[in-house]
Amino acid sequence: MSDENDKRPEWAPKEGGEGFTSKVMAGVEGGHDGMPGQKARASRRPIVKRKRLGIDDYERGILSGDRTILGRAITLVESNAPAHAEMAQELLKRLLPRAGESVRVGITGVPGVGKSTFIEALGVHLINRGHRVAVLAVDPSSSVTRGSILGDKTRMAELSRREEAFIRPSPTGGDLGGVTRKSRETIVLCEAFGYDVVLIETVGVGQSETTVRSMVDFFMLLMLAGAGDELQGIKKGVIELADALVINKADGENERAARIARNEYTRALHYLAPATAGWQTRAHTCSALTKTGIGEVWRVVERFCERGRGGGVFEGRRRKQVLDWTLAMAEQHVRDRFYRTDAVKGLLDIVRGEVARGETTAAVGARRLLDAFYDALSKS
Ligand SMILES: Nc1nc2c(ncn2[C@@H]2O[C@H](COP(=O)(O)OP(=O)(O)OP(=O)(O)O)[C@@H](O)[C@H]2O)c(=O)[nH]1
Ligand SMILES: [Mg+2]
């Protein structure tokens, strides 16, 4: 067994291409990286430590279309080490002028609705039309449900074999704020690299829909028709975030039910405030499995972009997103600092008790905590 594929994680399909950035690669191969061409027997070779990359290597690699370097740059922005953070921010600053040229599409829906299958079908459709597609996943609960995100990759076997596609699983670990930052920065890297469509899959868990909505231009909710209450399983409020509802699995016996559901949703949507000003959200049907209706769904996205770009809605949303994000990061920082301050920690239980017993008013309690906080800040 000296096949290089053996070095991949067990969930990776045998034919998976470079899109599987997390595959384990042999350190040295014949003809690779300017090494003299020799018959590499990868499995017997000791794994050679990868060369450390400097900021210029990252920049050059990304701008020249080196997907291995893109993968490593994403690992860099995902790192929680302070030394990496500084380099990552410098790299992002350099690449920012080249980012922003893509359409960012968020795709959500309950587990099993067919998101990964849909992304596979849509991704291949887009590549065949000359696009370059990056697929990212946002899963704030990934430390718990890691299995499902890894499982996704096998559902995208065809897409992952295509040169023009890049698939990156969800960043793991950390809170929602951390995952959000990593995903947003990964989008910048992918755009600078030249991907003009970024598809972001998220599982309908916790706050992930709102998070993904805040980083995409177009947000799509995949749904299923049929059995009883059609709203079942979909969290309240998620429909209001969507620019399109897509009823998947409209194939075989399910096709008729899907059409009926589409009409019902389209009627109901008229009574909801639109997710995007000036855009009427509608319901559509498709089958990710038979690849029917995929082109139609993409035309909806294209229409949305044409309209949005013309009226400035598109740019306005992006500007607002980046500003909101800036402030959210600053607020998060202050909040963390507040709760990590020893003087505040020491006082918190006391104030809590006094306020609960009605001995102190809320305003006085807050004032005491803030005084302790500012006092500690001025001494630090
Ligand atoms: N009949 C039919 N089956 C489909 C269709 N799309 C997906 N499926 C099947 O539905 C199952 C779940 O599909 P996935 O693409 O993994 O669903 P997902 O939404 O990504 O699931 P999670 O990642 O677990 O949240 C698989 O068995 C697919 O083959 C479709 O259009 N028609
Ligand atoms: Mg999936």
Domains of the chain: 52-98 (1.20.5.170), 99-311 (3.40.50.300), 323-379 (1.10.287)
Distance CA 23, CA 5 (A): 9
pLDDT over 60 at 67, yes or no: yes
- With the most atoms of ligand 1 within 8 angstroms of its CB, the residue from 139, 289, 290 to mutate is 289
Q: What is the DSSP letter of 355?
A: H
- Cα of 161 from ligand 2 centre, angstroms: 18
Ligand 1: does its nearest atom lie under 6 Å from the Cβ of 117? yes
Greatest alpha-carbon pair distance for the chain in Å reads 81
Give pLDDT, residue 272: 87
pTM attached to this predicted model: 0.80
Which residue has the CA at smallest separation from atom 10 of ligand 1? Answer: 114
Q: What is the percent of the chain where pLDDT is above 70?
A: 79
- Cα of 204 from ligand 2 centre, angstroms: 10
Ligand 1: does its nearest atom lie under 6 Å from the Cβ of 152? yes
Nearest to 248 by CA among 209, 212, 213, 284: 284
pLDDT band (50, 70, 90) for residue 23: very low
Strand partners, 197: 103, 133
Which residue has the CA at smallest separation from atom 24 of ligand 1? Answer: 111
Q: For 236-253, how does the pLDDT look when each residue is reduced to its tens digit (9 = 90+)?
A: 688 899 999 999 999 999
Q: Which two tokens stand for residue 22?
A: 């997390």
Do the beta carbons of residue 212 and residue 170 sit within 8 Å?
no
Nearest to 314 by CA among 11, 104, 173, 55: 104
Nearest-atom number in ligand 1 for the CA of 151 is: 23
Ligand nearest to the CA of 115: 1
Do the beta carbons of residue 125 and residue 295 sit within 8 Å?
yes
Lowest-pLDDT range, 82-91, 178-187, 216-225? Answer: 178-187
Ligand 1: does its nearest atom lie under 6 Å from the Cβ of 173? no
Ligand 1: does its nearest atom lie under 6 Å from the Cβ of 153? no
